[in-house]
Structure 1
Amino acid sequence: MRKHPNAQALLNQVETLLPLIRADAPTAERQGHLTDAVLAALFKQRLFRLFIPKCYQGEATDLPTALKVFERIAYADGATGWLVMIGAGGGLFSGFMAEAAAREIFEPENAVIAGSGMPSGLAKTAENGFMKDGFEASGRWAYASGAHHASWFTANCKVDDTEDILAIAVPAAEVAVHSTWSAFGMKATGSHDFSVEKVTVPRDFTFSLADTPILNDPIFHCPLETLASVTFGSVAVGIAQHALEAYQAFAQHKTIYGQDGVLAEQPAIQQCIEQAQTQIEHARTQLYDLADAVWQACEHGQTPDEALRTQVQTECVTLVQNCLHAADSLKARAGMMAVFDTSEFGLAWRDLHVLSQHVILSPPQD
């Protein structure tokens, strides 16, 4: 399996960003978006460009390496990891768009996509049929992570009130962002609603992921839901690892009323920590085994088969739930430490719970 030619250098660069990301996380949470310093560092390291191809000045990173990037950033801060993952994931669309449009959207160094996959909009052609210049689009969509710093927004629309779905790409200047994101975790993602009203979208600025990709880079053979499952999983693993280590640091110093010693010396606590670490390590191994299998198919120019896609979806739900259970078992033994805004453990626990509510990660309903 081919790796990014500078994969280790990329990962080393990511490690240098982690102290800044963690230090700025409380500020980002309070203000509801990344700090200018963190955002500038992410752009400088080109981390939103991991899935943009070389022909559009991207990094063309292999999937397993990209997952390691997302995991490590999420380890520093869950919301930042989510935003890098979502922003980089938008690079997938570059392989399905006309070249001139793709260059306009993806070549700028500060290019980053926010958007929604829900078909909550309407794209109208002219009343007399084909509209040479494209479509008139209107609609409102929810949960656009990274809306604060996005340069373009993508959104799914129904075409002329039919069941046909088409994705549109609209510059941020033509989009209204509505301040709707008020969650108890992942606050810094700024996952607000956005809308457009009768905006003209040239045909070249529309695309469908159901079509055969125009470019043949391996990433463009990875279905969006498969990519979402593994990338969401990488963020979950990173957050869970942060929660575990924050709890361990707490337990090393927490004295127990009426007893000698600290919490970490209690056999029951030691067992709980060991079990949590085992769960997280198993989730990590499971995740990268899946990613390797997906990437092997993509490198051969093939879409992963249905059995593998189903396996990815099922196992990613399971591994995220296992990360959640690990964090919950620690929270049950954290006392009041877990509830304060200043608690690193509390922030990681809240972020992990919000991530786990995403529809792609929801356990099947019986």
Structure 2
Amino acid sequence: AVAAADASVAWCLAQASGCSMAAAYLAPEVARRVFGDPRAVLAWGPGRGEAVPVDGGYRVTGIWNFASGGRHATWFGGRCRIAGAARERTLLFPRAEVTLTDIWDVIGLRGTGSDRYAVTELYVPGGHGFGPDYTLVPEADTPRFADGTLYRLPAQSVYGCGFAGIALGIARGAMDAFATLAREKSPRGGAPTLREDSVAQYDYGRATTRVGAARAYVLEAANRLWDDVERDGAFTIDHRMRIRMAVTHAIHEAKDAVGAVYHHAGTTSVFASQPFERRLRDANTVTQQLQGRLAFFQLIGQHLLGLELDARLV
């Protein structure tokens, strides 16, 4: 529902929700420090950082990107290579210690403020972090202080379901707007109203069916993952692949649906005052994020055909 109205708001909500899973990997007193404020928001993104071990913690220097919602964040996190060791650790630091750089001049999801952030020679207590990173190595035995079903799920699958929901919400918003327009607009040289145009009828029916089917597949895969993990306490590569299939498929089905109604809305679509052009930009931007990567279908095929594969980002 949020994404149907504003995809950037929904993106920040989904990102912050995924980041908040970090609470389970922090000692309770640290988790309260980070998330105790009712307005607490943790933001992070990919990048490069180095953490030099010092007494009681680390001296951290690094630059990271794509901190969605960072302008409202109270804490930031960054994945760091531990100097002198072949391992990484994700470390958390307060907003006041971060230099935030506005680089978010993009075509879609413009309201997420997914900016660059950096720290230089910042002391971070050792307890303000975790490793291995549960978002990249879901099978790792990372110490966990909370054991609810949510915190036993693979983080990439949680993020994926959130971002698929955003794509589907964008499509729903565009399609609802088109249905309203179709009752009112009389296409030049065409049917009396847009909704009486046979090609528009066909494409709208197909788009609605495809979006509904994609949504059902995401829900089915997510529910099965939750139920199995709740019962068995663990997930498998089959669970992750099923989520990956559903998520990446849904993102692209949603993008195609938005494109279809954008086209049929005609010149109405090109005006910024209308509800189509922003949704077209947002839907296409979602496909460019990791979760929409078409190369995942190759990995899915390899898995289904019994081949070995690199499944770190599945």
TM score, norm. by length of structure 2: 0.88
Measure, in 1, the Cα distance between the counterparts of 2:84 and 2:2: 41
Per-residue CA deviation, residues 294-319 of structure 1 (Å, 9 max, x unaligned), is: 11133236232111112211221112
Residue in structure 1 matched with residue 217 of structure 2 by the alignment: 286
Q: 1:301 to 1:146 in 2, by over 3 A?
A: farther
Q: Any residues of structure 2 matched to 1:57-68 within 5 Å, and which?
A: none
1:253 aligned to 2:181?
no
The Cα shift of 1:338 comes to: 2.1
Per-residue CA deviation, residues 3-25 of structure 1 (Å, 9 max, x unaligned), is: xxxxxxxxxxxxxxxxxxxxxxx
Q: Say which SS state the counterpart of residue 61 (structure 2) adopts.
A: strand
C-alpha contact (below 8 Å) 1:276/1:329 kept by paired residues? yes
AA paired with 1:98? Answer: A
Residue in structure 2 matched with residue 213 of structure 1 by the alignment: 144
C-alpha contact (below 8 Å) 1:280/1:326 kept by paired residues? yes
Residue in structure 2 matched with residue 20 of structure 1 by the alignment: none
Measure, in 1, the Cα distance between the counterparts of 2:232 and 2:93: 30
Residue in structure 1 matched with residue 104 of structure 2 by the alignment: 181
Unaligned runs of 5+ in 1: 1-71
Q: 1:207 to 1:334 in 2, by over 3 A?
A: same
Per-residue CA deviation, residues 178-223 of structure 1 (Å, 9 max, x unaligned), is: 0001111111100101111111110110112240422111111011
Measure, in 2, the Cα distance between the counterparts of 1:309 and 1:110: 32
C-alpha contact (below 8 Å) 2:14/2:159 kept by paired residues? no
C-alpha contact (below 8 Å) 1:119/1:165 kept by paired residues? no
**Equivalent position to 1:167, from 90, 109, 112:** 90
**Equivalent position to 1:190, from 113, 117, 121:** 113
AA paired with 2:111? Answer: A
Per-residue CA deviation, residues 244-302 of structure 1 (Å, 9 max, x unaligned), is: 11122222222122345111111111111111110110111011101101111332362
The Cα shift of 1:329 comes to: 1.8
C-alpha contact (below 8 Å) 2:247/2:291 kept by paired residues? no
Q: 1:234 to 1:171 in 2, by over 3 A?
A: same
Moved more, 308-317 or 165-174: 308-317
**Equivalent position to 2:40, from 99, 111, 120:** 111
Q: Any residues of structure 2 matched to 1:60-209 within 5 Å, and which?
A: 72-116=1-45, 118-126=46-54, 131=55, 133-160=56-83, 162-208=85-131, 209=134
Q: Say which SS state the counterpart of residue 148 (structure 1) adopts.
A: helix
Q: Say which SS state the counterpart of residue 257 (structure 1) adopts.
A: coil
C-alpha contact (below 8 Å) 2:80/2:90 kept by paired residues? yes
Q: Say which SS state the counterpart of residue 39 (structure 2) adopts.
A: coil
Measure, in 1, the Cα distance between the counterparts of 2:4 and 2:229: 27
Q: Any residues of structure 2 matched to 1:330-341 within 5 Å, and which?
A: 330-341=261-272
Unaligned runs of 5+ in 2: 135-139, 299-314
C-alpha contact (below 8 Å) 1:141/1:194 kept by paired residues? yes
1:268 aligned to 2:199?
yes
TM score, norm. by length of structure 1: 0.76
Q: Say which SS state the counterpart of residue 66 (structure 2) adopts.
A: strand
Residue in structure 2 matched with residue 35 of structure 1 by the alignment: none
Measure, in 2, the Cα distance between the counterparts of 1:225 and 1:313: 9
Aligned length: 289
Per-residue CA deviation, residues 65-105 of structure 1 (Å, 9 max, x unaligned), is: xxxxxxx1111211111111111222200000111110111
AA paired with 1:331? Answer: Y
- The percentage of counterpart residues that share the same residue type is 24
C-alpha contact (below 8 Å) 1:139/1:196 kept by paired residues? yes
Residue in structure 1 matched with residue 283 of structure 2 by the alignment: 352
Measure, in 2, the Cα distance between the counterparts of 1:94 and 1:297: 23
AA paired with 2:238? Answer: A
